[in-house]
């Protein structure tokens, strides 16, 4: 009698484990993470007394298995920095591919009008880049099970 109860309990545990596993797989399939992430960003400042050249480097990691074509990148700037741009076109046309599960480094630059500002005033501008607008292209095929 005890062995039958033990077998039933074991059978119930196996069925419950299977059902929980199946439910968690279905819910994970509904969640879609972004396929690209930026791992790190670095900026440098230089230039002339009246304009500051801002250069940036950042690393994009393609977390998918698919090759992705990066068409263009554009740093997202604060309103204050946008008003100081010497050239309003800061979009960088790159047309480079990132293979699946790899990363690539992208670079760019833009110039800010810092006429009349000393070093401390330029530092107070808080020149940072924390986000980018990235235009990508990729081919998708029909997924069959």
Q: Is 142 a domain residue? A: no
**Are 93 and 113 found together in one domain?**
yes
**Are 119 and 75 found together in one domain?**
yes
Bigger pLDDT: 20 vs 124: 124
**Are 106 and 74 found together in one domain?**
yes
Q: What confidence score (pLDDT) does residue 2 get?
A: 57
**Are 13 and 50 found together in one domain?**
no
Task: Provide the whole-model pTM.
Answer: 0.71
Of 8-12, 79-83, 138-142, which gets the smallest average pLDDT? 8-12
**Are 116 and 50 found together in one domain?**
yes
Average pLDDT over residues 49-58: 93
Q: What confidence score (pLDDT) does residue 77 get?
A: 96
Q: Is 102 a domain residue? A: yes
Average pLDDT over residues 99-113: 94
Domain extent, residue 7, equals: 1-31
Q: Is 64 a domain residue? A: yes
**Are 21 and 76 found together in one domain?**
no
**Are 95 and 112 found together in one domain?**
yes
Bigger pLDDT: 86 vs 29: 86
The structural domain count of the chain equals 2
**Are 77 and 98 found together in one domain?**
yes
Burial of 86 (0-12, 13-18, 19+ CB in 10 A): middle
Annotate the chain with DSSP letters as a single string. -HHHHHHHHHHHHHHHHHHHHHHHHHHHHH----SEEEEEEEEEEEE-SSEEEEEEEEEEEE-SSS-EEEEEEEE---HHHHHTBSSS---EEEEEEE-TT-EEEEEEEEEEE-TT--HHHHHHT------EEEEEE--------
In the predicted model, is pLDDT for residue 135 greater than 50?
yes
**Are 73 and 22 found together in one domain?**
no
Of 28-37, 87-96, 105-114, which gets the smallest average pLDDT? 28-37
pLDDT one-digit tens code per residue, 32-45: 355 889 989 999 99
Bigger pLDDT: 118 vs 26: 118
**Are 47 and 19 found together in one domain?**
no
**Are 97 and 84 found together in one domain?**
yes
**Are 21 and 44 found together in one domain?**
no
């Amino acid at each position: 009698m005890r062995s039958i109860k033990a077998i039933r309990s074991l059978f119930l545990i196996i069925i419950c484990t299977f059902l929980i596993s199946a439910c968690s797989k279905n819910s994970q399939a509904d969640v879609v993470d972004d396929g690209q992430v930026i791992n790190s960003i670095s900026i440098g400042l230089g230039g002339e007394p009246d304009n500051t050249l801002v250069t940036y480097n950042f690393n994009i990691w393609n977390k998918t298995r698919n090759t992705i074509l990066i068409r263009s990148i554009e740093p997202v700037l604060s309103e204050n920095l946008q008003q100081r741009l010497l050239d309003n076109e800061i979009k960088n046309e790159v047309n480079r591919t990132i293979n699946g599960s790899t990363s690539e480094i992208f670079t760019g630059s833009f110039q800010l009008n810092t006429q009349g500002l000393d070093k401390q005033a330029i530092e107070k501008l808080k020149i940072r880049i924390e986000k980018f607008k990235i235009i990508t292209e990729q081919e998708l095929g029909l997924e069959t099970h």
